[in-house]
Every structure is written in C-alpha cells, then in structure tokens.
Amino acid sequence: MGSHSSDDFTAKWAQHDLGEVVVSSKEVHDRVLELGLEITRDYADSPPLLVCVLKGAINFMADLMRAIELPVEVDFMAVSSYGAATKTSGVVRIVKDLDVDLTQRDVLIVEDVVDSGLTLNYLRQYLGARDPHSLEVCALLLKEGEQRVEQSLKYVGFTIPPDFVVGYGLDVNERYRNLDAIYIFTGQA
C-alpha cells in the first residue's frame, strides 16, 4: 500500500488538496476482485442482499457486485454522521432507508470506511431489528486505532492509518469521489 502507481491518474483540479496515495487504483481493483471471490464462496448457497451505505461506498459497491459471481440483489441506505466535517459527530441520522424487507435474508452491509465504528454499530442494531437471517459487513477501509466500538467485520479491504482520506467514493463536501485511488486529504474542509 501507499506506492504511487503509473495507473493512478490524479485530476489537476484535485492535486493541491491531496497527499500521498494510501491505496493505489490497482491495489483497490485487485482487492475488490479477491473480496468478490470470498463472498462468492461464502454465500454460494444463499446469495446475499448487498446494502450499500451511500454515498461513500457507491464506487466500492459497483465494483464489488460485479466481482461476485452470484445473483445478488442490492439496496441503498444513506446515513449521516459527518455533515461537512472531516471528523464524525457520533450522531447518526438515517437519510434514506431500505426499500426491501430483510426478514430471513442474508444481508451484507457494504461500507466505505470504518473509523469510530459508531455509525456501523448503529446500522447493525437498526438493520438487525428487522430479523435478517444473517447480517455481516464488508468494509473497504478500516482505520487503525480509531474504533470506539468493538467491531466484528467479516470482510475488510485494507487497514489504513487514521488519516482522513478521499477518492474512490470518499469525499469532502461532495468532491474527490471520482478519483480512482485513495489519497490522504491535505486540503481544507
């Protein structure tokens, strides 16, 4: 991790706000394919409902669902715990709820980044109350040493330092989501 790759294209408009590459686009691509194979194997008898946590996990979800060789279904939730800040407030709001019934379904929450774990803990309780058969998490990023709530994550793409990062769906004020790699954000929020 952290090495610049010749396939990492940084848009000129973003360069002044970005530090080092934390995860290159090739590393992301390769790891998403590995996660897709693991999920395909683990859920071979019961394809999961993938629940994408908007908006940060949208790029990850799009690539992950194509890497899973099963007839998966998808749904979307939007939660807010950051607002326009670069640190979580710890207060979770459901902005968009699911459309499908979770009763006795195998549900896999697809999350972009787990830092404090407060949002994910809230989501697990919220969705767990809907009687799913199973409820697991696939997180692209886990920030080292940031968890305030113990987490059991079935799938983790990368463990990264506790820096604030952008790219590959992760944003600041709705910007930088369209970058292929994941970068340390050095600009002003």
- pLDDT one-digit tens code per residue, 119-159: 889 899 999 999 999 999 999 999 988 667 667 899 999 99
The number of domains in the chain is 1
Asked if residue 123 is part of any domain, the answer here is yes
Handedness of CA 146, 151, 169, 172 (dihedral sign): negative
Output the domain CATH number for residue 89.
3.40.50.2020
The pLDDT score that the predictor gives to residue 5 is 45
Give burial (CB, 10 Å; 0-12/13-18/19+) of 104.
Answer: exposed
DSSP 118: H
- Residue 4 clears pLDDT 50, i.e. is over it: no
**Cβ(142)–Cβ(159) under 8 Å?**
yes
Domain region containing 40: 25-163
Residue (of 103, 149, 146) closest to 123 by Cα position: 149
Asked if residue 129 is part of any domain, the answer here is yes
Asked if residue 183 is part of any domain, the answer here is no
**Cβ(56)–Cβ(170) under 8 Å?**
yes
* Least trusted range by pLDDT, from 8-12, 52-56, 95-99, 157-161: 8-12
Asked if residue 109 is part of any domain, the answer here is yes
Q: What is the mean pLDDT of residues 182-188?
A: 93
* Least trusted range by pLDDT, from 64-73, 81-90, 170-179: 81-90
The pLDDT score that the predictor gives to residue 46 is 96
Give burial (CB, 10 Å; 0-12/13-18/19+) of 21.
Answer: buried
- State how far the Cα of 10 lies from the Cα of 56, in Å rounded to an integer: 18
Residue (of 166, 137, 133) closest to 14 by Cα position: 166
Q: Which residues are catalytic?
A: 115
The pLDDT score that the predictor gives to residue 99 is 94
Asked if residue 57 is part of any domain, the answer here is yes
Torsion of CA 13, 164, 167, 106, to 10 degrees: -160
**Cβ(143)–Cβ(182) under 8 Å?**
no
List, in sequence order, the alpha helices (H) in the chain: 25-42, 58-67, 118-128
Q: How many C-alpha atoms does 62 have within 13 Å on its Cβ side?
A: 8
Write down the pTM of the prediction: 0.89
| Percent of the chain whose predicted confidence (pLDDT) is above 90 | 71
Residue-wise pLDDT for 172-182, tens only, equals 999 999 999 99
Asked if residue 53 is part of any domain, the answer here is yes
- Residue 3 clears pLDDT 80, i.e. is over it: no
Torsion of CA 188, 171, 79, 44, to 10 degrees: -150
Per-chain mean pLDDT for the chain: 89
Specify the higher pLDDT residue, 144 or 58. 58
